Structure 1
Amino acid sequence: MRQPHIELLRICAMLLVLIVHTAYYSMGSPTGEMIVCAPVEWTWITFVQSVSVISVDVFVLISGWFGIRPKVKSLVGFFFQVFFFLILSFGVMAALGKVPVSMNNITKCLTVINTLWFVSAYLLLYILSPALNALVEHTSRRTFKRVLIAFYVLQFVYGWTGLLPIYEGGYSVLSFVGLYLLARYFKVYQPKFTRYNQYTYIYSYMLIAILLTILGVAIAYLPVLCDHVSVVSWTLFAYNSPFVILEACAFFFIFEKMHLPLHFQRVIVWVSSSSFAVYLLHANPFALSVWYKPVVSGLYQMTDWVFVNEICILAFVVGVFVVAIVIDRLRIVLWDIVWRKMEKPIRRVVEAVT
C-alpha cells in the first residue's frame, strides 16, 4: 500500500535528480582556479550540488524501506516505460536534427544495460531482491547488523577512496545493495537513529549540506589539494560517500515523520506513480547532453546575477518535471492496452521457464 508521505519523498527525490544535473554535471566539476576567481557563484553551485546529490541514494532507500517484491507485470511494465521514453526521445531529437539516425543510436534505444546506468543497476537490484529479502527475514538482528557494519566499513575504506573500483563511486548495484539492506534494517528493527523527531533530521540534513559546501569550496584554498579539486570533489560527492549517505538518510526520515492533509494525498500518489518518467525523459543519452545540459549552461550565463539565473533554472526544472508527468500519463494509457493483449502469452512464457 502506498504511503503518501513517502510518495511525496519520491517526487522530491526526482526533483533533486533534475536539480543535481544543473550543478556539477552541467557546469563541470570546478577547478581550484575557477572557485578562487568566482567564489560566490561556485559556492552557490556547490551548495546546489550538496543538497541534491542525495537523490539517487534516497530513491534506493525508498525501495529498501518498502521492500521490492518482484512481479511479472511490474518488471515488464518497467521495461516498457524505459523503452517508451528512449524511443520517444530518440525520435523527437532525430526529427529536430539534434542526433543522427544511426545504428549506434538505434542500438542505444534497444540496449538498456549500456544506455542508462541507473536502470541497469536497479534492474540487478530488482533481480537480487528476493535473496536480499530472504537474508533479512531469516537472519538475526545481531548478524544483520554485523553484515551492515562490515559492508560499510569496507565500502568507506576501499570503495569511497577508490581503492576498489568495483564500487564505481556508488554507480553500481553493489552500492545499491548496501542502501537497500540499510533501509530494510531501519524498517524492520527501527533503531534509535530512526526514532528522533522531524526537526532533528531537518537540522542534520542542512548541517551536512552546509559542511559539504564548505569542504567543496575550501579545498580550492588548501595548497595540498588546490591542484586536485575536481578529483576531491568527485570523491566528496560520490553516491557512496559517508556524508552523502548520512544526508540521504536524514532527508528520508524528514518525510517518514511527516503527516499530510488528506486532500493532498490522492494528488501526491497520482504524481508519484509517474515520477520515474522524470529521470527517463531528461537523463537518457538523447536528452541529458543534447538539450538539458546546454539549456542549463545557457541559463547560468544569462545574466550577471546568479540568483536570477537560478530562478530561471528552477522554472525550467519544474517545466521538465511537469512535461514528464503529462507524457507518462499517456504512456500509462498505452501500457494498459498493451498489457491486456500481452498478459496471457507473457505469463505462459514465464510459467514455462520457471
Structure 2
Amino acid sequence: MKEIPIKKRESNFELLRIIAMLLVMITHATFLSLGIPTHEDSISTPYNSFGIFLSQSFSTVCVNIFILLSGWFGIKANLKRFSEFIFQLFFFTSIIFIGFYIFSPNVIANTDALLTFFMFHSSDYWFVKAYIGLYLFSPILNTFAERASQKQLGYFLISFFIFQTIYGWLSIDGVQWIGGGYSAVSFFFLYLAARYTRQYLLPDINKISQSIYISSYISIVLFIAILAFIVTRFGLPIAGRLFTYTNPLVLLESLLLLIIFSRISIKSKIINWVGISCFSVYLLHANELLLRPYYGKIINNLSVTESTEWFLVFTMLFILSIFLISILLDKVRIAIWNILIYNSFKQQQ
C-alpha cells in the first residue's frame, strides 16, 4: 500500500523502507531459520549464539518501522490503492503457485495449499491481514488524531502502551487480540504514535543532536542482545520475549530509527524506484509455502555445512538475490497494473 504518491516520495524514508525489508529477511534468517540459542548453545558456541541474538536485536524493528512509516505520513485510503494492494498480493501468490505447479505440483495438490492461497491459516501472511485491518480503520484513526487534543491523544497512547506492555509483552498471551504485536490492534497504536510524534514532538526532537539518537539506538540494540545472551547463559528460557514487537525497548528502538532517518537529507531516483516495490520481497519469500520449507531450510543448511564466515557470505548473497528478483518481478506487476488501469479508464470514456 502506497500512502505517498511516487512524485512526492522522500528518498530518506524510502531508504528506511528498503532497510526495513532487508531486516525482515534477516529476522527470518535468525530465530526462524536457526532457532533461538539454548543454554547449551551459549556454552558450546558462545560467539555464534551472541551473533544470532545481535542480528535479531538489530532486525526486530522491521515490522514496527513499516507501521510507523504509515503513521508518519498517514494512510489515505481509497478503493484504487486498496485494489492495487490486493492485486500485488495475489500477483505474487499466483507466481508462487504457478512455480509449484510446474516444478513440484504435489505441494499444492491439496486443500491446505488452497487455504494458504487465500490466507485462511493464522500464519499465512499475518502482516498482510493485520495491515488490511489498519488500512480499513485508518479513516477512523485519522479522524481521531485530527480531532483529539494533544492531551487526549497522549493519554490514549500512554494508557494503551501500559496495557499492551502488561498483557501483550509481560504476559505475551494475556490478550489474544494483541498477540505480541502480531495484530491490527498493535498497528493502531504504532500508527497513532507516529502521528503524535510528527504532529506534536517534532520541533523538540529536532533540537537534539543526531549523534544522541544514533548512540541511543546502538545502545538499545547491544543491551537487548547482551541481556538475551546473559539470561540464556543462566538457563532462563525468556530470551525470545526480549525480541517481541511489543517490548518497550523494541518500540523505542523502532521510533529512534524512524527519527534518525527523518533527519537525513537524500534524493535518489534509484532508491525511490526500489522503495516502491520493496513490499514484494515480503510477499515472495514470506509465503508459508516457501518461508519455512525453503527459505528457512536453506539458511539452516548453510549454517550446518559452512563455516561461520562462508555462512554469512552465502546468506547475504541469498538474501540479496531474493530481494533483487522480487523487485524485478514487481516491476512486471506494476506494468500489468498500469495497463489494466489504462484500459479501464479508456472503457469509462
| TM-score past 0.5 threshold | yes
| Structure 2 residue 186 is the aligned partner of structure 1 residue 175 | yes
Q: Distance in 2 between matches of 1:75 and 1:151?
A: 28
Give runs of aligned pairs for residues 74-223 of structure 1, distance below 5 A: 74-97=81-104, 99-111=107-119, 114=122, 115-162=124-171, 163-191=174-202, 192-193=204-205, 195-222=207-234
Pick from 259, 268, 277 the counterpart of residue 271 of structure 2: 268
Question: What is the identity, as a one-letter code, of the residue corresponding to 1:241?
Answer: N
**Count of matched residue positions in the alignment of Structure 1 and Structure 2:** 336
**TM-score normalized by structure 2?**
0.91
Q: After TM superposition, give the deviation of residue 189 of structure 1 in Å.
A: 1.0
Q: Distance in 2 between matches of 1:144 and 1:195?
A: 23
CA distance change for structure 1 residues 73 and 112 in 2, over 3 Å: closer, same or farther? farther
Q: After TM superposition, give the deviation of residue 16 of structure 1 in Å.
A: 0.6
- Give 1:327's aligned residue: 329
Secondary structure of residue in 1 paired with 2:9: coil
> 1:186–1:194: 8 Å Cα contact kept in structure 2?
no
Q: After TM superposition, give the deviation of residue 316 of structure 1 in Å.
A: 1.1
Question: What is the identity, as a one-letter code, of the residue corresponding to 2:113?
Answer: N
> 1:159–1:167: 8 Å Cα contact kept in structure 2?
yes
Q: After TM superposition, give the deviation of residue 235 of structure 1 in Å.
A: 1.4
5+ residue gaps, structure 2, are 1-7
- Give 2:30's aligned residue: 23
Aligned-pair identity (%):
34
> 1:94–1:100: 8 Å Cα contact kept in structure 2?
yes
Pick from 36, 45, 53 the counterpart of residue 52 of structure 2: 45
CA RMSD of aligned residues (A): 1.8
Q: After TM superposition, give the deviation of residue 113 of structure 1 in Å.
A: 7.4
For residues 265-294 of structure 1, the C-alpha deviation after alignment (integer angstroms, 9 at most, x for no partner) is 111111101010010010011210121111
5+ residue gaps, structure 1, are 348-354
CA distance change for structure 1 residues 144 and 205 in 2, over 3 Å: closer, same or farther? same
- Give 1:352's aligned residue: none
For residues 75-126 of structure 1, the C-alpha deviation after alignment (integer angstroms, 9 at most, x for no partner) is 0000000011111112213322272322221232134675210000000000
> 2:115–2:121: 8 Å Cα contact kept in structure 1?
no
Secondary structure of residue in 1 paired with 2:228: helix
Secondary structure of residue in 1 paired with 2:250: helix
Any runs of at least 4 consecutive aligned residues in structure 1 with deviations exceeding 6 A, and if so which? none
Question: What is the identity, as a one-letter code, of the residue corresponding to 1:67?
Answer: G
Q: Distance in 2 between matches of 1:221 and 1:25?
A: 20
Secondary structure of residue in 2 paired with 1:68: coil
Q: After TM superposition, give the deviation of residue 128 of structure 1 in Å.
A: 0.6
